Amino acid sequence: APIDADADSKILSHDLKLTRENMISVVCDSLLETRSRELVDSWPFTGHHPYPPSHRNSFTAAGMQFSDLGGSCCCRSVLISHTTHGHLIESFKPRSDTAAYGIISVYLQAWNPWYHLAGYVEVNVAKDGGIEHPMWLLGDVESYFHMSELMGINKLFEKLGGHFADLTKTKIEHLGEQHSENKSNA
């Protein structure tokens, strides 16, 4: 769903740019502001994909993903991925046809013992003003277990889109409070 990132009741190109900035912050920044950190820490899944070292020619680094899907230790996981920061590459074009801006690409190699899926994943700002997490994964369509897991992952990312929209709304409200405080102190 489109995200009205500046709360003006319109979805314009400015909203896509603000959504891009917010998504880069949530996904890539090592330390989030307190309000954002409290919200993101409560999500059932979050990816942390730090920037590569400045001296590296490649825009690729190790990313970590954490999930707590059931609130108990049996449903928690830590995954390590191979992440490219497309948002740092001027000529980067996401694979998804519906993407306006690419944020990161995650390569899930079959040989990675720290990840249970194989394929390619993107995190993008969509042309319609929303966010998207398209996935091209290897899977056995005959396997009930495998297909159930992939459907569960789709549902999880739909839910995370709502969480990100709530985070954006909270940021807008916080900026409004700061603006009101600044006016009253002037």
Band (pLDDT 50/70/90 cuts) for residue 35 is confident
CB 2 within 8 A of CB 130: yes
Question: Which tens digit of pLDDT belongs to each residue from 83-114?
Answer: 999 999 999 999 999 999 999 999 999 888 88
Over residues 32-44, mean pLDDT: 87
Q: CA 40, 44, 47 angle in degrees (round to 5)?
A: 60
Among residues 42, 31, 9, the alpha carbon closest in space to that of 167 is found at 42
